[in-house]
Structure 1
């Protein structure tokens, strides 16, 4: 649990979306700044963001710290690995087979005002536990440069490095996996 506050994780709702979009924008702009150039940050918006399918599926969560939304993220039983509603060429809505395929950890964002207070770590552990309870034995995610240290500390390993340039400047990403 983060020090200095009460943490609550709950399913995201449609009414949360305006605040989640604000957090996503603040996270992309603020937390990526130490890892990406200004051009790459602009470019990353083409492949990062809100995926409303996760909210509809009930697998997207809000993290509140002392009653304030501090972050969001989720997991998915669908094949899409990363990207928002607006991301072209990334959508693959078919359901995964938990016997043979890893679940996906998706769209993890922390409000920069709450960075390094355990929000991301708690949310990641929550998503892994729910995926494990649904029969998945592994999870995969596409990690940003800013997110990779958290994921590595949580036991994820890089299985592939890519650059996504659909937004203009190439954005480095790492496909990462963890056995549950």
Structure 2
């Protein structure tokens, strides 16, 4: 397991896009697979590979967790909620499967929640995929509603969750 002192948090840069996409794809494939059908897994991977994904990365106040050896271990970010100026949406939380369960995801989400609070957001929301609902619940998020996320070839079940900042 990676020690906390071996990890450096840094803001996303455009040149990080390929590493971030690779991490997101691997994390989704390995960690979401048990909770989603093969068609749903592939559909989400197609979203990650879409050219517009890089633009979404750049607009989500993304924080990256880098190991001292240069490996990308995780990401998390937040963005504004257009119809709720007091809210921030937690986004793009992905952890290297080899690091899952180490507490890094919790640290990353805590980091971006603090950034959202510093920007004046009093409410935090997340659109959780089925595989991450328990993770967010453990961080204090509560389910508000359930829905689907459209993806190429298959819809993915999601849970909309929130908590006070």
> Which TM-score tier does this pair reach, normalised by the shorter chain?
0.7 to 0.9
Do residues 112 (structure 1) and 97 (structure 2) align? yes
* Larger helix share, 1 or 2: 2
Aligned Cα root-mean-square deviation (Å): 2.2
Look up the SS of the partner of 1:146 in the other structure: helix
Kindly state the Cα deviation for residue 65 of structure 1 after the two structures are TM-superposed: 3.0
Structure 1 runs of 4+ aligned residues shifted over 6 Å read none
CA spacing shift, 1:54–1:77, aligned 2, 3 Å:
farther
Look up the SS of the partner of 1:74 in the other structure: strand
Kindly state the Cα deviation for residue 164 of structure 1 after the two structures are TM-superposed: 2.9
Q: How does 1:1-180 map to 2 (within 5 A)?
A: 4-6=3-5, 7-47=7-47, 50-56=53-59, 59-67=61-69, 68-79=71-82, 97-98=85-86, 102-180=87-165
TM-score under structure 2 length normalisation: 0.86
Q: Which runs of 5+ in 2 are unaligned?
A: none
TM-score under structure 1 length normalisation: 0.79
Query: Aligned residue pairs: how many?
Result: 160
Look up the SS of the partner of 1:116 in the other structure: coil
Kindly state the Cα deviation for residue 77 of structure 1 after the two structures are TM-superposed: 2.2
Kindly state the Cα deviation for residue 103 of structure 1 after the two structures are TM-superposed: 0.7
* Larger strand share, 1 or 2: 2
CA spacing shift, 1:54–1:37, aligned 2, 3 Å:
closer
CA spacing shift, 1:61–1:129, aligned 2, 3 Å:
same
Measured in 2, the distance between the counterparts of 1:65 and 1:33 equals: 25
